[in-house]
Structure 1
Amino acid sequence: MDTVSATVEKMLPKTNGVNGVNGANGHSATNGTAKRPIRIAGCSGGSSAPSSPYTYSDQFVGVYDRKRAIHDMAKNEDVDVITGDWMSEANMTLRGSDKREKLGSGTLVGKAYEPYFLEELDPAIPWLAKRGVKIAVNAGASDVQGLAEAVRGLVTKHGVNLKVAYVDGDDVTDAVLDLYKKGEKFLNLPANQSIQEWGYEPLCAQCYLGGTGIAACFEGGADIVVCGRVADASVTVGAAMWWHGWKRETHVQELAGALMIGHIIECSTYATGGYYSGFKDLGDQDTDMGYPIAAVDEKGHAVITMEKGKHGLVTPATIASQLLYEIQGDLYYNSDVTASLSDIKLEQVGKNAVKVSGVKGSPPPPTTKVGITAKGGWQAEFHFFLTGLDIEEKAKMIERQTKATMGEHLSKFSCLNFTVAGAVPEDPQSQDEATVDLRIFAQSRDPDILSASSIIDSDRGSFARFCIENLLQGYPGSTMAPDMRQAIGRPFFEYWVSLLPQSFVKETAHLHDGTVIDIPCPSVTQEYNREQPDLPVTPNAVDLSQYGPTTRAPLGYITLGRSGDKSSNANLGLFVRHDDEWDWLRTVLSTETLRKLLGKDDAGRQIDRCEMPNIRAVHFLLKDHLDRGFNATSGYDSLGKNLCEYIRAKHVDIPNKFLERGRV
């Protein structure tokens, strides 16, 4: 037995049965004794579909995890349930649009579920059947019934007896469109604007479901449960609800703990060293990260470990990093429960083993998040390479010439940005080092101005021609990117995130035998303020002079962190390794300080701040910081992931005593 398994084994109650599983079908004993923890693996962290439904092909689906994940976990690890998060705002818009196109024309442009899931599942099926391992994923996107049928086909192919069920009800298009026509404002979460100010016509809508339907499917005997847009962490919540017999109304604390465990493992190797600010701790052991496994006990606490014999780390720092990813503040909302992170505790209990506890629970809100999709128009981009001296002046020349060439066509662009990426160092040591990229990004509701045919027809206005025609009268060294495919327009979506009363959601669990179970909305809910609590400065400030001499250095020399997106909101969490550094960090890192660190990127919009003392973290929610979110953004940091690394690179006065401990 490896060190990780031995550590966890000491902490868990002894059980009987194959692979340590109690009772038939892997379910816990019901004799009144404490049930052993359920071991849940996180094996997928998302799937990003292409931006255009008109260029859709299964081969071009972007997937963020390795094909081996489900197979290896089912074959080699003692787990009870394998989970996966396959949903993102990108495929919510594309798959939802595909579904509406199907309803309108009778033909489906592309599959409305995530087909890559089937490729991962296929080789794992014999091992799932042999070892009694169950699966819950949200890869159904906008066609969960279709995915369930496809999974049943794979089960038949392998000649095994696995029961497939699915959860439906996340498509709330009809309800949202009806409310929209009646004047419902659907205030968006980033900026509190009404949907009537949006300027786009809603096409489809999908809401976020909890884990109760998943629990019902498992309770009904399912081995594989596929879902549409259940929240990322809901697959873990549903599995734990089923195993421990929890109910929404009576197990609030336990569900809150499971919710945050689900959040930690929902992005797979993000919890085991992927996207980790302290990545240098991995050395060169970073080519095959192990997937996380959470042993969730009857209290909603968990010990998180990882696959045996793989690269990666499970430490309070790697877990804190993922904990701080894509949260909104102290409160974390779900359709089943609300979790408070203020007292969360992370404790190293063995090599690559961290215990998570201290999450506080309260009832869920009466609403759930809903994403509303509209067709945004067409977008394209063009790239020039600038080298050497006078980069700013060269960039201004490109912008001047391009806009002059556009003339009256300039008004046809809803977005036109000229952005320089990079900077030339003094006395560069190579030509590559001395070269930066200038990106011209354009969006328009007029497809002709971005079309391929208009490039050839000189009598028509064309974005690409506007950029190319100045090449021979351009800046010194004028060089364009040779690949013109990006300069041809492709459709994009606008995405509006709001709240919908859970009473409008008609969730159903479809069992393997055809039984359909209605999943009612929660009977006990709690109203919450629309905005998270805000703490612009710490109430526990310390005298910074006590730390002695300082040196101006990058903040990231002593801090770790993570950032992410939720529509056009960005979140940023920064934390330190030592208690005295924590007192320093929360004193220094006020909202005003963050605005200074943002520099030119501070748009003056709302920023909410909170503290998480147990993990020595300061967290910020930057409202409407990203340009409309992933689907339509004109920026480079489309998912908010690089915000943290930008702020960590900013210079502040750091006590020398901290720097002497060694940089992150």
Structure 2
Amino acid sequence: MGDQGRPEKGRRPVRVANCSGYKSGFANRVVQTTLLIKFSDDPSHEMFLQATLGDVDFITGDYLAEMNMAENAEAYKAGKVPGYETTAWEAIKESIDVVAAKGIKIIINGGSLNPKGLAKRVAALVKEKHLNLKVAFVEGDDVLSRVGPTVSSLSGTLPEHLDSDNKAITTQTKYGFLKNETPLILARVYLGARAIVKGLQHGADIILCGRVSDASPVIGAACYWHSWSETDYDSLAGSLIAGHLIECSAYVTGGNFSGFTEHPAETFAHPGFPIAEIEADGSCVITKHPGTGGLVTEDTVKCQFLYELQGSMYLNSDVSAYLNGVRVECVGEDRVRVSGIVGKAPPPTTKLAIFYHGGHQCQYILNATGYGTREKWELLERQLRTLVKNRGIMEDFELLEFQVVGVPERNPSSQLLSTSYCRVFAEAVDPKTLLGLLDAFKDISLRHFSGMFSPQISPSGISLTCPAGFHFALDMRTALPNPFLAYYPALYAQNNIEESISILGADGTMTLNVPAGHPPTYASLEPRENTPAPTSVPLCNSTPTRSIRLGDIALARSGDKGSNLNFGIFVRSSAAWEWFRAFLSHEKMKELMGSDWDESFFLERVEFPGIWAVHFVVYGILGRGVSSSSRLDNLGKGFADFVRDREVQVPESVLGI
């Protein structure tokens, strides 16, 4: 049903293309004006390119980050935005003629908060163009009425935290919002591929979803194509990882690739978007259209495989994938085969993303130049903490951090090379607390930055002066309190989800609604694997060593999972692997993190011997995660190259010396 003249369905690998990997922005309130600034977005034109540059069977796209649905929720309720992602609409509008002519099916989560609204608009376009396409939309991810509508309604019945099996979760990470009696903004569960498969079985050509998991469109396409049953777990698990590999668009074709310095810069000017060719057993080949930029190599695929993992077990609404046996092998130019994934029944719960008003934030970026910089920053922190304490507001801050960024170059050849900066970051429920910090800044800044602030006498009566060499960038907008949304990742019982898919007629009315049902069986959550490093490697015990940067022999990728940071790193030879896995122990990882390590964190370690990789999860390092995180690198993307920049002692035998 719905094969539309494709007799080869199921007899060959299904070619699933990706056209979008993210859509994110941030809401920034300045004085009385609300601005929604979109700072990152995959171009809508990529869907058209994937449809026209070669043959594919499906085009999928991930348009949702953990923040952008929440950022638009209040504006959508007020009727100020359509609720769906406008770039998803633009992509379909540009591509619809060619996908109809070529029989390509589209499955995307660009419906965001309003998949029905996007489906109606696409159905109207289909009617206008007299195309023979069925449009459908998936519902069931919105559970706000069940878990909300306010924070107070959660008190005493707080949904179980996503990492509830980890006793090392910090108080800030787990229960930061219980004292804030504010409305919940959003509560969305991550749906699987069940409704997508049923829609395809009923002939749907364009399926528009809300908060399905990033890989669900790919799983749904492969499951339908190969007619898998709900218990073909190995195959489903393989397609889950195929989806994981291509969901971030160009990340697997050269974007965010730590090995980019080994290739000509023009290689990465405009990387082509990826395609997964998924076999009946779930294994896949990652590739891209010939002639497009970027590259697909074992290294790019390994980097993306290691990105934002949960460890050695990848949980999904449809299947639990076990990754220990993963294999990555080049099988041609820009063609890399991924295999070895094993599947089991899914867990009884799925991820629930809850967002609420977390309070207010502000930050100051202060520069210092030249001699005695460290002492200048120490004095600044002492001065500000003294003034804040004397104002009686120190206990009202949820966060007050002084983050020094950069180290002045010794004997600098320019002032810029002699300059570092301090990021003063603060959070509080009441914006008046942050205005108190601004008031404290006035007491020390006027004496150094003439005309920056109006004169004001310190209430404490203490006269403070700013150290020599301080200066501001002439932009103080971030010093004003800005409201922010906070994130609580929870667990939600799959059997409580009411998921369905609806198919629209030519007039935009619903002609069929099919419940998705629930998985036939579940497997209880298992303890996460946490593998110690081998205690010794005889080959390297007595050989001389040489000091090099870790990145000279290893590639890596890092990213965020809510409150946690994941970090995967691999070497590129079997000779280096035995030393590497013994070297990169829990204690060595903490040592490499330096002062970024905190004993309140919890460190999890696993190995992937088939790709010579070690993977860590650092629980709690991102605070409450996403917009609540105080870290400058709040999504953890730069952490991998920080660790790769550390100098380590490597046996000369490993280096081939």
Q: Does 1:267 align with 2:248?
A: yes
Q: Residue 302 of structure 1: CA displacement?
A: 1.1
Q: Residue 221 of structure 1: CA displacement?
A: 1.6
Q: Residue 544 of structure 1: CA displacement?
A: 5.0
Counterpart in 2 of 1:388? 370
The count of corresponding residues between Structure 1 and Structure 2 is 620
Deviations 1:142-173 (A, max 9, x none): 22222222333444555534322111111111
Runs (5+) with no aligned partner, structure 1: 1-21, 455-459
Aligned letter for 1:647?
Answer: V
1:23·1:29 contact (CA, 8 Å) conserved in 2? no
Q: Does 1:606 align with 2:602?
A: yes
Query: What is the CA–CA distance in structure 2 between the aligned matches of 1:528 and 1:88, rounded to whole Å?
Result: 25
2:159·2:491 contact (CA, 8 Å) conserved in 1? no
Matches within 5 A, 1:107-506: 107-156=78-127, 158-177=129-148, 180=154, 183-189=157-163, 191-192=168-169, 195=175, 198-201=178-181, 203=184, 204-249=186-231, 251-284=232-265, 285-406=267-388, 407-450=391-434, 462=439, 465=442, 468-469=445-446, 471-472=448-449, 473-506=465-498
What's the secondary structure of 1:499's corresponding residue? strand
Q: Residue 328 of structure 1: CA displacement?
A: 1.1
1:379·1:490 contact (CA, 8 Å) conserved in 2? yes
What's the secondary structure of 2:12's corresponding residue? coil
Aligned letter for 1:163?
Answer: K
2:438·2:479 contact (CA, 8 Å) conserved in 1? no
**Range moving further from structure 2, 177-186 or 135-144:** 177-186
Query: What is the CA–CA distance in structure 1 between the aligned matches of 2:439 and 2:116, rounded to whole Å?
Result: 43
Aligned letter for 2:481?
Answer: G
Q: Does 1:524 align with 2:497?
A: no
Matches within 5 A, 1:94-105: 94-98=71-75, 102=77
Matches within 5 A, 1:480-629: 480-513=472-505, 514=510, 515-529=512-526, 531-538=527-534, 541-545=536-540, 548-604=543-599, 605-629=601-625
Query: What is the CA–CA distance in structure 2 between the aligned matches of 1:322 and 1:547, rounded to whole Å?
Result: 35
The alignment's TM-score, normalised by the length of structure 1, stands at: 0.88
Q: Cα distance 1:145–1:592, how it changes in 2: closer, same or farther (>3 A)?
A: same
Q: Cα distance 1:467–1:224, how it changes in 2: closer, same or farther (>3 A)?
A: farther
Aligned letter for 1:607?
Answer: L
Deviations 1:446-488 (A, max 9, x none): 234557xx9xxxxx97577467445443221221110122222
Q: Residue 122 of structure 1: CA displacement?
A: 2.4
2:2·2:201 contact (CA, 8 Å) conserved in 1? no
1:338·1:363 contact (CA, 8 Å) conserved in 2? yes
Q: Does 1:62 align with 2:32?
A: no
Query: What is the CA–CA distance in structure 2 between the aligned matches of 1:471 and 1:323, rounded to whole Å?
Result: 51
Query: What is the CA–CA distance in structure 1 between the aligned matches of 2:18 and 2:159, rounded to whole Å?
Result: 37
Q: Cα distance 1:479–1:656, how it changes in 2: closer, same or farther (>3 A)?
A: same
Q: Cα distance 1:629–1:182, how it changes in 2: closer, same or farther (>3 A)?
A: closer
Q: Cα distance 1:613–1:400, how it changes in 2: closer, same or farther (>3 A)?
A: same
What's the secondary structure of 2:416's corresponding residue? coil
Q: Residue 66 of structure 1: CA displacement?
A: 3.0
Query: What is the CA–CA distance in structure 2 between the aligned matches of 1:297 and 1:28, rounded to whole Å?
Result: 16
Deviations 1:639-663 (A, max 9, x none): 11111111111111112344458xx
Q: Residue 404 of structure 1: CA displacement?
A: 3.8
What's the secondary structure of 2:548's corresponding residue? strand
Q: Residue 547 of structure 1: CA displacement?
A: 7.3
1:95·1:111 contact (CA, 8 Å) conserved in 2? no
Q: Residue 403 of structure 1: CA displacement?
A: 3.3
Query: What is the CA–CA distance in structure 1 between the aligned matches of 2:155 and 2:584, rounded to whole Å?
Result: 45
Query: What is the CA–CA distance in structure 2 between the aligned matches of 1:322 and 1:23, rounded to whole Å?
Result: 33
**Range moving further from structure 2, 347-356 or 162-171:** 162-171
What's the secondary structure of 1:49's corresponding residue? strand
Q: Cα distance 1:503–1:118, how it changes in 2: closer, same or farther (>3 A)?
A: same
Q: Cα distance 1:474–1:197, how it changes in 2: closer, same or farther (>3 A)?
A: closer
Q: Residue 183 of structure 1: CA displacement?
A: 2.2
1:402·1:470 contact (CA, 8 Å) conserved in 2? no
Runs (5+) with no aligned partner, structure 2: 450-464
Deviations 1:164-209 (A, max 9, x none): 2111111111222388366245234275566597434561311111
Q: Residue 108 of structure 1: CA displacement?
A: 3.1
Deviations 1:576-618 (A, max 9, x none): 1000111111010111110111111111221111110100001
What's the secondary structure of 1:243's corresponding residue? helix
Aligned letter for 1:358?
Answer: G
Aligned letter for 1:235?
Answer: P
Query: What is the CA–CA distance in structure 2 between the aligned matches of 1:176 and 1:486, rounded to whole Å?
Result: 34
Query: What is the CA–CA distance in structure 1 between the aligned matches of 2:34 and 2:229, rounded to whole Å?
Result: 41
Counterpart in 2 of 1:16? none
1:402·1:466 contact (CA, 8 Å) conserved in 2? no
